[in-house]
Structure 1
């Protein structure tokens, strides 16, 4: 149990960050302040709603903050004067005034310096990597370039997709950050390992265009894309003017065979059921 921290700021936005916040609240004794992105319109109905992290914080009656600029963020941080800042997929790079004056730990879902940037889990699946993991870094003002505090590797299984790998990495992240803080209560004397800049690679925010399957690509490339976007938002192709999402597939006899598909306007279904109404089938490469 940590006894020398009064105020901790947690910064995060997507569902990936929620299990980590939950674990910290359970195992770390401190007052938590939660920063997240502002509420926005979501879903088909475009109903304004909070981020998963803000919703979690509200359910725990925690103070929440949704700054829209680095200047506003820095001002709120200064008022709180935290002992520690933990950042998990927050979607805003912290200003130098914050990273210079406070100990900031970022949990990044890759083996840094590989896949610095916004889509490390997608990238590991797209590139059909055999392993991935999480890295704890002491943040500086640059994106994912801070010194390494701790690394945890895991194997990417053949049946992993975006959903399963995100869940695994979130749970591992939750365990690792709590263990790290309990074993390293004097953060000012933390052991730091600089990243090897020569081995750095970068990944970028996924766009709608990235979801489309290219039939001229190899079967392995398209299988990686299917896994990287499954089950949502879903890799897709267009047939007769209609979008069909490929949720799962396998390689068999040197062919890429759909297993689960989602035709436009319909629910997910086994490919064998799709074939009943479309005996000509689908070509994935």
Structure 2
């Protein structure tokens, strides 16, 4: 089979690597334009582009695929991309975390199938891994689906479930799901080659939407229950990183443990800060033991190391 691949971040690069290793013919890769990143804000290629270039695969980076865009440059690039797709000999387009909407004109050229990081119809949308952890879900998985114009509404071609471990962050769960998606897309395409890939409509019940993560969500409100805050810290690791204010500085909180505790202290008040207990903070319900923290410009540190560099007895996180 000849496969056009569309994707951008590391999650997608894992799938592309799996397709390359499985021997699929990949004549073209679509990925988002290079973006400024790092302290120098220099342009950086996506993980997918870097991988494609290492394997000598042609890369296309349109700003948009919508030819009806009101932006002349985007519309022109979309027209060029559409013409390039029409001129390419391929059997299927595989999409994984591409980040651009595929319009009807693209979907109609050849079958398009998507690797989605949730058990659809739960967590349709941009941030299914973050939202599954934030919500306290016990499991998630990968759904291979046929794409249509709706947001992750297409029929399911393959589903595999994966337990969410108590210590999973978005980072660790991302890596597990990326590997699972890579294995599943190869198996799905093998079945497609044999004409044995069946489509099943998504259930109408249980639809939820995984809104894109905003940096504004990173600031923690300690009046919330400790259990909820612990889930947010896991969900926002590694991006955008949960934050709290301590003595006027923004501290990042990378790992924590919810405790059952009764305290009359105000939310955010430090209840303990020593090598034995770590840093325990009062919450709206229960308390939160902070396990890993980071000062501005510093390294991530275990709580026992963090408290060596500052005095936080009686301090308050806000």
Structures share fold, TM-score greater than 0.5: yes
Counterpart position of 2:299: 267
Mapped partners of 1:31, 1:24: distance in 2: 8
Shift of 1:281: 6.9
- CA contact 1:213–1:284 (8 Å) conserved in 2: no
Q: Is the 8 A contact 1:12 1:88 kept in 2?
A: yes
**Distance change >3 Å, CA 203–CA 284, structure 1 → 2:** farther
User: Is the helix fraction higher in 1 or 2?
Assistant: 1
The alpha-carbon deviation at position 186 of structure 1 amounts to 4.3
Corresponding residue number in structure 2 for 1:216: 223
Q: Any idea what SS the aligned residue of 1:69 has?
A: coil
**1:145 alignment counterpart:** 153
Q: Where do residues 16-27 of structure 1 align in structure 2 (5 Å cutoff)?
A: 16-27=11-22
The answer on 1:279 being equivalent to 2:312 is yes
Q: Normalising by the residue count of structure 2, what TM-score does the alignment of the two structures yield?
A: 0.83
Work out which of the residue numbers 226, 230, 235 in structure 2 matches 1:228. 235
**Structure-2 residue corresponding to 1:13:** 8
The unaligned stretches of length 5 or more in structure 1 are none
Match of 1:248 in 2: 255
What's the TM-score, normalizing by structure 1? 0.93
Q: Which has the higher contact order (CA 8 A, sep 6+)?
A: 1
| TM-aligned CA deviation for residue 209 of structure 1 | 0.6
8 A contact 2:28–2:57 mirrored in 1: yes
**Alignment length (residue pairs):** 279
Kindly indicate whether residue 201 of structure 2 is the aligned counterpart of residue 201 of structure 1: no
Task: Select which of 23, 34, 42 maps to 2:37.
Answer: 42
Residue 156 of structure 1: how far off its partner (Å): 0.2
1:132 to 133, 137, 140: 140
Instruction: Decide whether the 8 Å contact of 1:275 with 1:281 is kept in 2.
Output: no
Contact persistence 1:162–1:230 (CA under 8 A): yes
State whether residues 116 and 143 of structure 2, in contact with CA within 8 Å, keep that contact through their aligned partners in structure 1: yes
State the Cα distance separating 1:253 from its structure 2 match: 4.0
1-structure distance, mates of 2:26, 2:13: 17
How many Å apart are 1:177 and its aligned residue?
A: 0.8
- Cα distance between partner residues in 2 of 1:146 and 1:102: 15
Distance change (3 Å), C-alpha of 1:151 and 1:282: farther
d(CA) in 1 for partners of 2:315, 2:238: 18
CA RMSD of aligned residues (A): 1.7
Shift of 1:30: 1.2
Structure 1 residues 171 and 233: alpha-carbon distance in aligned structure 2, compared to 1, 3 A threshold: same
CA deviations on 1:135-192 (whole Å, 9 max, x unpaired) are 00011122211111010100000110011100000000001111122233145x6311
Cα separation, 2, equivalents of 1:282 and 1:97: 58
2:25 aligned to 27, 30, 42, which one?
Answer: 30
Shift of 1:197: 3.0
Structure 1 or 2, whichever has the larger Rg, is 2
Report the Cα distance in structure 2 between the residues aligned to 1:281 and 1:20, rounded to whole angstroms.
49
- Describe how 1:82-97 pairs up with structure 2 within 5 A: 82-97=90-105
Over 3 Å counting, the alpha-carbon distance change for 1:283 and 1:178 in structure 2 is farther
SS at match of 2:200: coil
Deviations 1:89-118 (A, max 9, x none): 000121112212311110000000111100
Match of 1:55 among 44, 50, 54: 50
